[in-house]
Amino acid sequence: MNWLLVIAGAVVGAPLRYLTDRAIQVRHDTVFPWGTFVVNIFGCLVLGLLTGAVAAGAASSTVQLLLGTGLCGALTTYSTFSYETLRLAETGARFFAVANVVASVVAGLGAAFVGAALAQAIWR
């Protein structure tokens, strides 16, 4: 039964990632992968909030499977982040490649911490 929850979340997360990526990227005339950056940071925020909610007892492990593993797992994408960073470096856009790595790590961790802090403030 647990695997069905993960699949259900992923069924929503994967198309949401693709559609959000395309909608954002088409609005920016730059080589920087804004679409992937935004979905990854948003996913980190949601996962931080969800983790905080589970830790506070406000959400169950079932919700964590559905939204954390399923939705956020399919919404965020380390493989696309890695591929796009490699492509930036290979095409000579090394500044954007480094900026993508640094900004993604800093903003992703920051978003996860903000989500967890927000959960703690809400469900304390």
Token output for 58: 């406000």
Give the angle 96-98-101 at the CA atoms, nearest 5°: 105
Contact 33, 25 (CB under 8 A): yes
Average pLDDT of the chain, as a whole number: 96
Q: Can you give the pLDDT at residue 9?
A: 97
Could you tell me which residues are annotated as the binding site for Na(+)?
73, 76
Contact 56, 115 (CB under 8 A): no
- The answer to whether residue 29 scores a pLDDT higher than 90 is no
Which residues constitute the domain of residue 23? 2-123
Burial string for 91-109 (b: 16+ CB within 10 Å, else e) reads eebeebbeebeeebeebbe
Domain count along the chain = 1
Could you tell me which residues are annotated as the binding site?
73, 76
Q: What is the pTM of this model?
A: 0.94
- The answer to whether residue 6 scores a pLDDT higher than 90 is yes
